[in-house]
Amino acid sequence: MSDVYESGQKNEVYTDNTSNNLAYNQNNDKSCAIVTAKTEGMCDQIRVKPDVIPYGDTFVKIPVILAETNITIPVEATITLDKEAIEIKRIKKNVYLTQCRLIPFSQDKKSDTGILYISGFVRKNIEYATEKCISSDKKNICGDIRHCTVKVPFNCTTRVKFIRKPFFRSNPNSQELQYFTDSLKSCDVCADPIIGRNPCDQNFTTTEIFNEKPFCELVKSCITEVDIHKCPVPVNGKLYGSPMEQEFRTFTEKIVIDLTLKVLQKQQVRIDSLGEPKKTFENSSQKYDTSVSECTPCDPVDPHDPWPKEKDC
C-alpha cells in the first residue's frame, strides 16, 4: 500500500512507492546481491543406549597400523602465468595423493621393512596483482587481482620400517590327479592291453587366497617454498620513482613437502569385550558413601593402668 499526502502550498499529490521500487529493482537488477535467510528451530532428541557385544573374547577385523613415517620431498617447478604480474598476493596450497603403494618384500631380505611408492600433486591457487593504469606522474599503479590454479606433481620412493608386519598368505601349488586304466588296447588284437594313465580323464585343483591390500592415510602435510621471479622487467618498459615496480610472468618455485603417512592393513584382531556397562548413578553424590560411620563407645581409661590399650575410636 503506497502512502499518499498533499503539499500545503501547491496542492500537489506525492506517492511513496519505495516498496514497489525495491521489488522492481530486485527483479530486474541481476548484478545486485540478494540474501534470503530464515531461523531454524531446534529439534528434539532422545539419547539411545548402544547395543554392545556380550562379555568375553571377540574377534574383529579392523585397520591395523603397519608403519607411520614422515617423508620429505624436494620439488622444483617453473610456473608461467596467463598475464604479467607485479606481485604475488597469496598462494593457497593443498596436497593430494594419487598413489601410495607398498611393496612389503625388500631386496635385502629385511623382513621388517618395505618399499613405499608415493605419487601426487600440490594444487596451487595463485592470486597476483596486475598493472592496468598508471598515474600521470608515473608514481602510482592501479590494476586488478587475478588468480591462476595449477597442479605441481611430485613422486617419491622410500623405505619404511614396520611396526607390525603385514599379513599375507600365498597361493598353494595347483594339484593334478591322474587316473589308472587297463582298458587301453592297441591296433594289434593279439597284443596285451596297455596299462597306465587314463588319457580321457583329468582332474585339477586350484586354490586362490585373497589378501587385504595395504593402504595409506595422509595424516599431515607441510609445504615450505621459495618463489624466484624470472626475467622481471620495469612496468610498461619505464622506471618509476623507485625501481621496485617490476612485472614478471614466469617464476620458479623451490618447494619442500613434508608428509606424515600411516600405512594400514585390515587384519583380524582378538579383543576382550567388557560387555554391558555397569548401572550408573543418577546422582553423582551417590558414587561415594558420605555418611559418617558410627564408632563403638570406648571403654573408660584407667589412670592407674601402666599399659593402656590403643583404641580405634
CB 221 within 8 A of CB 258: yes
Task: Give per-residue burial for 215-249: e unless 16+ CB within 10 Å, then b.
Answer: ebeeeebebebeeeeeebeebeeeebeeeebbbbb
Residue 192, pLDDT score: 65
- Which comes out higher in pLDDT, residue 301 or 283? 301
Question: Which phi and psi angles does 227 have, rounded to 5°?
Answer: -105, 125
Residue 162, pLDDT score: 92
- Which comes out higher in pLDDT, residue 106 or 287? 106
Residue 96, pLDDT score: 97
Question: 124: burial class by Cβ within 10 Å (0-12, 13-18, 19+)?
Answer: buried
- Within 10 Å of residue 122's Cβ, how many Cβ atoms? 23
Q: Where are the chain's structural domains? A: 62-167+211-275, 169-209
pLDDT of 285 strictly over 60: no
Mean pLDDT estimate for the chain: 80
Give the pLDDT band of residue 101 (cuts 50, 70, 90): very high
Q: Give the residue-averaged pLDDT of 6-23.
A: 48
pTM of the model: 0.67
Q: Give the residue-averaged pLDDT of 99-104.
A: 92
